[in-house]
Amino acid sequence: QKERVVTEEEWLQKWETGKTGFHKEQGHPLLQKYLDVLLNGRSGLRIFFPLCGKAVEMKWLADMGHRVVGAEISEQALKEFFTERGVPYREEPVPGISGAKMLQSMSGNISLYCCSIYDLSSAIVGKFDGVWDRGALVAVNPCDRQRYASLMISLMEKSSSYLLVTVSYDPNKHKGPPFYVPETEIKSLFGKLCEIKCLEKANDFSDRHREWGLDYFLEVLYILKFVA
């Protein structure tokens, strides 16, 4: 899989043609189950959703009093998020990123950046107390993983909690995305600065995965915390 490159156009096309089997309309059960681990007893957090799509949990967390920031290349996905959740929003350009725009809820507690995630920096979006990475690390091209991990580390506050979902399957049977990311690679990407703990391996096998030629498909949830 390491040579595989998925272009921005291919991702945009998935949204345009409705090939978004990765979207969970009911929210993600692992986030619901481990929300306390992400929040760690804290309220009013800034929480980042990398490659957010139209994740329903963004409204869920905003309604709890947190401030949510997302990054997504598909403007369609972001607009669908606001319209489907019934959240009024405004659009504005992003200073310093040509062609980018930010779609923000009128109440200001949800800010979604429509641009390449690699165009973002802490100077533009600030730093975060929590990260929900479901479908992001496993979607970035394998050749970009180091760049992605470095960006994410630069966006994390030292006290932050980073919930990371990866997927496990036989990578010889499916070219990705989502890409198989073994625990050894997570340790090499984040292990120098973060303590990494596996919280759960959940069976997520479905007909879609059977069509890919797979006979098992697991979601693997990790918590990453900066080592002080």
- Residues contributing to the annotated binding site: 11-22, 51, 72, 116-117, 134
Matching residue, tokens 């499916």: 174
Phi and psi (nearest 5°) for 211?
Answer: -65, -30
Greatest C-alpha distance within the chain? 47
Of 172, 152, 174, residue with least CA distance to 163: 152
Give the DSSP H/E element, type plus range, for residue 103.
Answer: strand 101-105
Strand partners, 222: 164, 198
Matching residue, tokens 């890919």: 212
Strand partners, 220: 166, 201
Of 67, 71, 82, 68, residue with least CA distance to 11: 71
C-alpha separations of 159 from 48, 223, 224, 225 in Å: 14, 13, 11, 7
Structure tokens at 78: 């972001």
Residues at the annotated binding site for S-adenosyl-L-methionine? 11-22, 51, 72, 116-117, 134
Asked if 189 and 145 touch (Cβ cutoff 8 Å), the reply is yes
Is the peptide bond preceding residue 178 cis, with omega within 30 degrees of 0?
yes
